[in-house]
């Protein structure tokens, strides 16, 4: 599903959200309404059909029900204002605020044109590092990386990131990001993304012994699920990841690059028939 920042109609965004949740598993307008705090089981359906409006006091409830937090919630609020406005000045103000938020927090979905981005941890890490180390030489950037990378590799990565549009070269050895967040399309680059997950999982395993508990955070649980619970959990993890990015993007004085992995995987086969004692 597209980022909310790409929408200019909140009715369409809500309908697309509903359709996506429906595609992934059991989901109903009743459940959607209940999670947003509405007693009417079809109110949000009527909103999407244009037969009712989403009032301003209820915007936050609906945004949270769809997993929107931080700047995405702010954008959704302005989007509702824009669509509901009858006064041109209000409409214009909302649109300008939407454009501002979209520009500051633009999310880039990597597609086949940037396959190389997922070949190694070096690309996303150096993309984050370079803007923070204004004027730094490739050797300086290489030296702060926890995993080994040569100065020549850093130079090649920087050239690629600029050429592919992930970084903008403002001056000699001075870079800025063209988008604040880069995510991988679920439909594109499945092989490359799997390779990246494997590489990052290996780095996470080494981090257990490499860093003290105060420098990294590891936690996990083992539990039983059915298919519906699994789909709900994966949606919750996606929402959590979006919230993490939103929190990180609120700050402008970053001084370190982190990686967070959400790893949900089976440790048993499915039990075909329930066993009762």
Q: Tens digit of pLDDT for each residue in 76-89?
A: 999 999 999 998 88
Give the mean pLDDT of 28-46: 96
CA distance 111 to 30: 35
Instruction: Kindly state whether residues 85 and 123 are assigned to the same domain.
Output: no
Predicted TM-score (pTM) above 0.85: no
Instruction: Kindly state whether residues 14 and 47 are assigned to the same domain.
Output: yes
Query: What is the residue range of 134's domain?
Result: 112-249
Q: What is the CATH number of the domain that holds 36?
A: 1.10.260
267 domain-assigned: no
Nearest to 109 by CA among 262, 247, 2: 2
- pLDDT over 90 (residue 134): yes
* 195-234 residue pLDDT tens: 788 889 999 999 999 999 999 999 899 999 999 999 999 9
Q: How confident is the model at residue 187 (pLDDT cuts 50, 70, 90)?
A: very low
Give the mean pLDDT of 146-158: 95
Instruction: Kindly state whether residues 116 and 211 are assigned to the same domain.
Output: yes
Looking at residue 191, what is its pLDDT?
60
CB-based contacts of 70-73 (< 8 A; 24+ apart in sequence): 70/243, 70/246, 70/247, 70/249, 70/250, 71/101, 71/104, 71/105, 71/246, 71/249, 71/250, 72/3, 72/4, 72/5, 72/105, 72/242, 72/246
Domain total for the chain?
2
More confident residue, 113 or 93: 93
Query: Which H or E element spans position 171?
Result: strand 167-171
Instruction: Kindly state whether residues 95 and 139 are assigned to the same domain.
Output: no
Instruction: Kindly state whether residues 20 and 89 are assigned to the same domain.
Output: yes
Give the mean pLDDT of 5-26: 93
256 domain-assigned: no
Instruction: Kindly state whether residues 93 and 123 are assigned to the same domain.
Output: no
220 domain-assigned: yes
Instruction: Kindly state whether residues 119 and 54 are assigned to the same domain.
Output: no
Instruction: Kindly state whether residues 154 and 123 are assigned to the same domain.
Output: yes
CB-based contacts of 40-47 (< 8 A; 24+ apart in sequence): 44/14, 44/18, 47/11, 47/14
């Amino acid at each position: 599903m597209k980022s909310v920042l790409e929408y200019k109609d909140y009715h369409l965004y809500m309908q697309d959200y509903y359709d996506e949740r429906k595609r992934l598993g059991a989901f109903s307008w009743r459940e959607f309404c209940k999670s947003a705090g509405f007693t009417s089981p079809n109110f949000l359906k009527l909103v999407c059909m244009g037969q009712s409006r989403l009032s301003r006091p209820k915007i936050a409830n609906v945004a949270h029900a769809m997993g929107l937090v931080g700047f995405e919630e702010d954008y959704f609020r302005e989007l509702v204002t824009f669509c509901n406005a009858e006064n041109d000045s209000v409409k214009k103000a909302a649109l300008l605020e939407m454009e501002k938020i979209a520009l500051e927090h633009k999310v880039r979905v990597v597609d086949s044109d940037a396959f190389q981005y997922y070949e190694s941890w070096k690309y996303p890490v150096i993309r984050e590092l370079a803007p923070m180390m204004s004027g730094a030489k490739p050797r300086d950037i290489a030296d702060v990386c926890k995993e080994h990378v040569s100065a020549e590799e850093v130079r090649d990565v920087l050239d690629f990131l600029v050429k592919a549009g992930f970084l903008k070269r403002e001056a000699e050895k001075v870079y800025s990001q063209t988008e604040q967040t880069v995510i991988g399309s679920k439909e594109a680059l499945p092989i490359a993304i799997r390779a990246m997950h494997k590489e990052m999982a290996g780095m996470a395993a080494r981090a257990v012994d490499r860093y003290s508990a105060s420098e990294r955070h590891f936690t996990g649980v083992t539990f039983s699920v059915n298919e519906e619970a699994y789909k709900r959990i994966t949606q919750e993890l996606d929402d959590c990841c979006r919230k993490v990015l939103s929190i990180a993007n609120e700050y402008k004085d970053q001084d370190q690059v982190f990686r967070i992995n959400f790893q949900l995987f089976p440790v048993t086969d499915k039990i075909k028939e329930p066993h009762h004692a």
